[in-house]
Chains A and B, each alone.
Chain A
Amino acid sequence: MIKVTRAVLAEAIFAFAFLLLGLFVLYDAFTLEEPGVYSVVSPKTFELIIGFFTTFVALLLIIQVLRGKLGIAEGTEAGAAQLRPDIKTMSIVFIAILIHIVLLEPAGYIATASLTFFGVAYAFGSRKYLKDILISFAFAVIVYFVFSKGLRIFLPDGIFENLLGLARKVEG
């Protein structure tokens, strides 16, 4: 048996979650409602195959982890991969993405994209606030302009779109 370090524990949890995923697919397959139409191969068949395959691979992965063969992120040295993740930086990135999900439709593209851009830049250590705000805003405006006006791809309008007179005219 190998020594249980933080890295081993983290990867064991990942492998176990993966096993649960396989079992869940099997559960979903077994509880699938019967199709009303007749078909030679029911939708259950393929889901069962994938469920069993996943469960089998998960067991292989668990064995690997228990034997101490840990995953190494591409482009990193063996030891470096198992360093403690930087939770603070990650959290700010998560928040920046969540802002996008929550605000995009109510607040419009330019406001939301500026915030997300600024948030991620902040997470990665940028502290030149004025410059960052300007760049974030410019990025959002250019993207909005190119996509919404140039390529005619729908993006939600909001405060800044109205202020800049870019918003789609409401017809009628």
Chain B
Amino acid sequence: MGNLDLLLEGFSNALTAQNLLYGLLGTFLGTLVGVLPGIGPALAIALLLPVTLSAEPTSALIMFAAVFYGAMYGGSTTSILLNTPGEAGSVITAVEGHKMAKNGRAGAALTTAALGSFVAGLIATILLAAAAPSLAELALKVQPAGYVALIVFAFATVGTLIGSSRVRGLVSLSVGLIFGLVGADQQTGINRLSFGIQEATDGLEVIVVIISFFALGEVIYYASRFQDKGWQILPVKGKVWMNREDFRRSWKPWLRGTAIGFPMGIIPAGGSEIPTFISYSVEKKLSKNKDEFGNGAIEGVAGPEAANNANAAGVLVPLLALGLPTSATAAIMLVAIRNFNIQPGPMLFELNAPLVWTLIASLFIGNTLLLLINLPLIRIWIQLLQIPRHYLYAGITTFGLLGAYSLNNSTFDLRLAFVLGFVGYLFRRFGIPNTPLVLGVILGPMVEIQFRQAVQLSNGDYSILVSGLLPKVIYLALILVLFAPALMKLVKGKAGQGLRK
């Protein structure tokens, strides 16, 4: 059966009344939670994970796809109206979008963001459907040493490229790796770092870690800064829809943003910041209205929003084909999929083909539902921003604790959440990013398995880790990525000195 047939079958699996209902619920909840200030897509999905615990896999996956797109869309709304980007990828949207809102053009900004996200999501999902199966086929040939190299590459790029300080990214990564160590070793059953606590021998629940850091840590941080002024909501005046001129200026940035965002999502190098920044500077260079940039240029919203969404869909390619998540959101999707005893990776397309294609079909459906539901409802979602801060934080805390408890019905997870929530506060306070931590917790145990398999294959010869074409290429690329900026600076500096002489 060809992939197209499989995809059509996926659609027929996904398009039942019950599943569509789950899709609608997911879109609704995803937008609802994503639009709340301070909640990015990663946290939105983590908070909504318990909702899917009782659903069957297909319905749950559809709901996740819908939540995923809904939360992304909700995030751009808060960026534009409140200037509080919930995740790194929306930072640029906040820059131009918030300026547009200040000029009374909030409606156009929200619409170009929504339409741009839809176009990007649509194209990116088509590309995903085309790329993931072939990548999975290639990935079957990847040896354990190759996996180790890929994961190390992801660690290094996510650890050093996200946030303002490399050292702080690495701090986050190492804490994540340590969390991943806790519990009984998968191969020998030896307990590491479990302090003789019975519950800890099963390892730390990833979702609890995420909820603690993203939700509780954030609330405690805001509590510590209680004296600060709140945010100011900008009103959406006049027409919500874009005019012809807006449309003419938006469609090219949407397509360019997609072209930039998607490929950068496929490479196992984390961060949605970079594609959005590139898209922004490309649009600025190509625009005829350069002086508008920085004062609310619609291209500066359309391009980066499309890049952000396409990037998020691109990240699903290595997630599905290699089992490698490279963003916090993808990491949570991985946990969610694993909850159904399905292991993403090269074998997925062979073992669970119907399910994967249902997921891909769900992404199409979720994306479309989002457009159909949310464009007419923009004004209602905006009302949500009016929720007083004290109820917002009360709700986030209570809901986060519910999520932590309901995974295993254990108060151990609640105690863990309390402690980790405090650590999350410290991270926030000292400017340490969360994403490397999430990847450390999830990829740490994976890299250990691959590392062991590699060394076992070679009977204890560690040089296998750098032998073969793939590992060599990846480590070379890694050295280039890490040291190229410094080298460039050095060369430029020397050239500059030469000129001055």
Contact = CB atoms under 8 A, between A and B. Distances in A.
Interface of A: 11, 14, 18, 21-22, 25, 28-29, 32-33, 35-37, 39-43, 46-47, 50, 53-54, 57-58, 60-61, 64, 69-76, 80-81, 83, 85-87, 89-90, 92-94, 96-98, 100-101, 104-105, 113, 116-126, 135-136, 139-140, 143, 147, 151-155
Interface string B361-375: 000000000000000
Q: How large is the interface on B (under 10, 10 to 19, 20 to 34, 35 or more residues)?
A: 35 or more
Nearest to A151: B54
5 contacts: A75-B84, A116-B397, A123-B226, A123-B390, A143-B402
A153 B192 contact: no
B466 to A, nearest CB: 15
The 9 closest A-B pairs by CB, nearest first: A71-B431, A124-B390, A71-B430, A35-B188, A85-B224, A43-B185, A120-B394, A126-B390, A54-B174
Contacts of A87: 224
B223 A123 contact: yes
B441 to A, nearest CB: 12
B487 interface: no
Contacts of A42: 188
Contacts of B187: 37, 39, 43
Contact of A47 (B171, B192, B460): B192
Contact of A124 (B181, B394, B426): B394
B171 A104 contact: no
Contacts of B402: 113, 143, 147, 155
A25 B398 contact: no
Contacts, number: 211
Given A57-B170, A98-B418, A69 B165 contact: yes
B399 A104 contact: no
A139 B190 contact: no
B301 interface: no
Interface of A: prevailing SS:
helix
B475 interface: no
Contacts of A73: 221, 428-431
Query: Which of B174, B394, B433 has the most chain A CB within a 10 Å cutoff?
Result: B394
A61 B171 contact: yes
A121 B393 CA distance: 7
Contacts of B411: 101, 104-105
Interface stretch (B112-120, B315-323, B451-459): B451-459
B207 interface: no
A35 B397 contact: no
Contact of B429 (A47, A81, A143): A81
Nearest to B426: A14
A11 B224 contact: no
Given A71-B431, A85-B225, A98-B418, A135 B391 contact: yes
Contacts of B185: 35, 43
Contacts of A118: 394
A22 B174 contact: yes
B168 A121 contact: no
Contacts of A124: 222-223, 226, 389-390, 393-394
B39 to A, nearest CB: 14
A97 B397 contact: yes
A86 B226 contact: yes
Contacts of A135: 391
A74 B431 contact: yes
B451 A46 contact: yes
B140 interface: no
B26 to A, nearest CB: 13
Contacts of A90: 220, 223-224, 425
B391 to A, nearest CB: 6
A97 B53 CA distance: 24
